[in-house]
């Protein structure tokens, strides 16, 4: 076994926390002595022990002189848990191999420096790219304080998200739809537009037992959401935020106030974030959601909301499912509407990060440049 193998193991362990650690990172750790793994662990849930301390807790023998492989720089601060650097020094671990750097201002290089100053051999940036790929959400949220936004859609091979009648059940197969349920568990919020609510009356929850449902965020400029929609009816069960573009005076004002009150009674939270044109200001909304502790949003919008989100520059990643079928139809809906760019050179540019077949469908993940 090489350093790479041990770090690969730490990365696999880290994934055990997927969906449960927010707003904290996914972290895995392996302790190795004389070519044997003598301890391993990962960060299981926000507020619980860090990966390093879980690995130490699992030790089968003394870690004196051992090597610790950890996917993220060990912390050196008192947060919800005490500093991992202290635990590492207590165990007399001789060498620490680190994957990602921790951009948390409370750590940011200080963790590695403390270990070095105490005589530990520290290697940084080892398989950094692979380790960084675990935590796009954490890296974004801790520095920007707004949620990391993943725009997800399913389309046919000819780029349609519905047939010409608007019927979209179903585009992709069962396995891809299950994958979407897992994505909903993984991200803290899910966002859709009022158009989707009116057309499909969705729940936007997770129906796999043991997984958690996201906070539902509905963009609804005119506060049109029906009181008898599934979203409103289940708002006491699943946290729900309706973002609208409230007027501060004039005709619609009183009406909006009444609707807002009804929604509050039903358990729905509301936030008014108007832009100059009387629509929801998505940047302001992201700032608000960030302050609410929401570190990530899965955007399951229709073409209008997707277009607005791309124009507002809030989209960090695209997750496209492509089904092996063709709908055709000049009027059939596509993932991004709006007026579109005039020339290819004006395109929103993407970088392909992952490509996977799921059942008969294809899942493509891109970061937005």
Q: Which residues bind ligand AOF (CB under 6 A)?
A: 21, 24-25, 27, 43, 50-51, 72, 75, 79-81, 84, 102, 104, 107
Which string of x and - marks every residue 24-53 that binds Zn ion (by CB under 5 A)?
--------------------------x---
Give just the sign of the alpha carbon dihedral 131, 132, 136, 139.
positive
Tell the smallest beta-carbon distance from residue 69 to ligand AOF (Å): 13
Nearest CB to ligand AOF, comparing residues 131 and 155: 131
Q: What is the DSSP string of 282-299?
A: HHHHHHHHHHTT--EEEE
| Residue nearest ligand AOF, Cβ-based | 79
Nearest-angstrom CA–CA distance, 364 and 12: 21
Could you say which DSSP state residue 324 is in? S
Nearest CB to Zn ion, comparing residues 85 and 168: 85
Tell the smallest beta-carbon distance from residue 23 to ligand AOF (Å): 8
Binding span for Zn ion by CB under 5 A among 71-79, 119-127, 143-151, 205-213: 71-79
- CA distances 182 to 189, 193, 238, 272, Å, are 13, 21, 17, 30
Of the listed 40, 52, 73, 317, which one is catalytic? 52
Nearest CB to Zn ion, comparing residues 84 and 215: 84
On the question of a cis peptide bond just before residue 254, with omega within 30 degrees of 0, the verdict is no
Q: Are 21 and 43 in contact (CB under 8 A)?
A: yes
Catalytic: 52?
yes
Q: Residue 75 interacts with Zn ion (CB under 5 A)?
A: yes
Burial class (CB in 10 A: 0-12, 13-18, 19+), 38: middle
Tell the smallest beta-carbon distance from residue 190 to ligand AOF (Å): 23
Other C-beta atoms closer than 10 Å to the C-beta of 354 total 12
Nearest CB to Zn ion, comparing residues 27 and 176: 27
- By a kind-dependent CB cut-off of 5 to 8 A, residue 147 interacts, out of ligand AOF, Zn ion, none, with none
* Site size toward Zn ion, by CB under 5 A: 3
Which is it for strands 67-72 and 240-244: parallel, antiparallel or unpaired? unpaired
- CA distances 116 to 61, 185, 237, 300, Å, are 24, 38, 49, 46
Nearest-angstrom CA–CA distance, 115 and 200: 55
Tell the smallest beta-carbon distance from residue 99 to ligand AOF (Å): 11
Nearest CB to Zn ion, comparing residues 73 and 300: 73
- By a kind-dependent CB cut-off of 5 to 8 A, residue 270 interacts, out of ligand AOF, Zn ion, none, with none
Tell the smallest beta-carbon distance from residue 116 to ligand AOF (Å): 17
By CB under 5 A, name the one of 37, 84, 137, 263 that touches Zn ion. Answer: 84
Nearest-angstrom CA–CA distance, 286 and 299: 12
Nearest CB to ligand AOF, comparing residues 75 and 310: 75
List of residues 6+ apart from 49 with CB closer than 8 A? 41, 43, 57, 81
Rule CB under 5 A: which of 174-193 touch Zn ion? none
Active site residues: 52
Enumerate binding residues for Zn ion (CB under 5 A). 50, 75, 84
């Amino acid at each position: 076994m090489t350093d790479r193998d041990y770090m690969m193991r730490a990365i696999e362990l880290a994934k055990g926390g997927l969906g449960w650690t927010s707003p904290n990172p996914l972290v895995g750790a392996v302790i190795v002595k004389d070519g044997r793994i003598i301890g391993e662990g990962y960060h299981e849930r926000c507020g619980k022990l860090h990966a390093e301390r879980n690995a130490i807790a699992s030790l089968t023998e003394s870690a004196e002189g051992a090597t610790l492989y950890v996917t993220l720089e060990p912390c050196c601060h008192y947060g919800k848990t005490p500093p991992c650097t202290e635990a590492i020094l207590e165990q007399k671990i001789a060498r620490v191999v680190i994957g990602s750097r921790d951009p948390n201002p409370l750590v940011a290089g200080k963790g590695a420096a403390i270990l070095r100053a105490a005589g530990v051999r520290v290697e940084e940036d080892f398989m950094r790219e692979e380790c960084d790929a675990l935590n796009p959400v954490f890296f974004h949220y801790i520095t920007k304080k707004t949620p990391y936004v993943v725009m997800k859609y399913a389309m046919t091979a000819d780029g349609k998200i519905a047939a010409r009648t608007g019927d979209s059940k179903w585009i992709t197969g069962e396995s891809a739809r299950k994958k979407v349920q897992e994505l909903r568990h993984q991200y803290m919020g899910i966002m859709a537009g009022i158009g989707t609510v009116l057309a499909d009356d969705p729940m936007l929850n997770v129906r796999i037992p043991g997984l958690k449902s996201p906070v539902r965020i509905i963009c609804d400029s005119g506060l049109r959401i029906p009181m008898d929609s599934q979203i409103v009816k289940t708002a006491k069960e699943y946290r729900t935020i309706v973002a609208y573009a409230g007027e501060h005076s004039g005709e619609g004002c009183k009406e909006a106030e009444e609707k807002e009150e009804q929604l509050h009674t039903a358990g729905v939270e509301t936030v008014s974030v108007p832009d100059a044109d009387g629509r929801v200001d998505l940047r302001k909304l992201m700032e608000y959601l960030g302050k609410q502790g929401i570190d990530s949003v899965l955007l399951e919008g229709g073409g209008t909301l997707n277009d607005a989100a791309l124009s507002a520059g809030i989209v960090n990643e695209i997750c496209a499912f492509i089904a092996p079928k063709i709908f055709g139809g000049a009027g059939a809906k596509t993932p991004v509407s709006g007026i579109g760019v005039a020339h290819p050179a004006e395109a929103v540019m993407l970088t392909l990060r992952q490509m996977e077949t799921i059942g008969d469908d294809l899942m493509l993940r891109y970061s937005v440049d």
